[in-house]
Amino acid sequence: MIDEERIAELRVWGFTIIHDVLDKATAAQMRDFVIDNTLRIGVEHGYRGTALHLANLVTLDAMFLPVIDHPAVLPYIETVMGPNLILGSLNARVVRPGDGHQGLHGDVPLDMLRHGDNAPLMMNTVWALSDLNPDNGGTRLVPGSHQSPLRHPPQGLSLPHEMQPEVPAGSVVIFHGQTWHGGGANHTDELRAAMFGHYRNSLWLRFQCDPHDGFREEWLAGMTTRQKELLRMTNGVDHRHGADFYER
């Protein structure tokens, strides 16, 4: 069920938090998988900061598929963006002890920004697999910045209203793709992990990470119709998935 207060927060502040989306056991299972595989096959991620990055989780384990159309999260994105969506990517970011602040930024290219009542072309979700807080590098956000004509704040601009909310493991931050956000500095002695489910307008944009690359066909039978739509797998898994024509 949609909470209209959450929709108002998305429209006014550019983000909202949905608590207890995943139970603690599921969040812990995903966290352990993400950390183990990030240390094994992850890469350094240097975009506006330092961290380890694990890409395309939906190709690594089928346990991540229920995340992408979760009934506690996806309806909020559909309400703001409309039904024409694809999953741009489901990636993970692991912040190590000593990794610093990531520079604040929006996800939408400058020439694709939309304002007012116009639906954004992108939205993002942060799935807390560890408890996120100011000590271990939880996500920072600037309320209302989704209405800015800029992708990131000008150098030297004071941001007194920047927030770094505490987000318990299993909870999800949903935010407008234009909202300025960035990871925080990890001042603890433990790794902290989060997943990012990134959604895009399917009529305008292609994937960020292609889920067809390495996806196991045997997983198709257990997928929901909406999962297949979000991954452009309505007609199965093959190399012909970049054009809208193939989904007809």
Domain map (residue ranges) of the chain:
4-145+159-247
For the beta sheet containing 43-45, the strands, ordered from the edge strand earlier in sequence to the opposite edge, are: 15-18, 172-176, 122-128, 192-201, 85-95, 51-54, 43-45
Residue 246: the pLDDT is 58
What tens digit of pLDDT does each residue of 156-198 get? 899 999 999 999 999 999 999 999 999 999 999 999 999 999 9
Helix, strand or coil for residue 229?
A: helix
What's the mean pLDDT in 41-63? 90
Token readout for 207 is 């994937």
- Its pTM stands at 0.94
The DSSP letter of residue 96 is P
Percentage, residues of the chain above pLDDT 70: 95
CATH topology of domain 4-145+159-247: Jelly Rolls (2.60.120)
Q: Please, is 66 exposed, middle or buried when counting C-beta atoms within 10 Å of its C-beta (0-12, 13-18, 19+)?
A: middle
Q: Name the residue type at position 200.
A: R
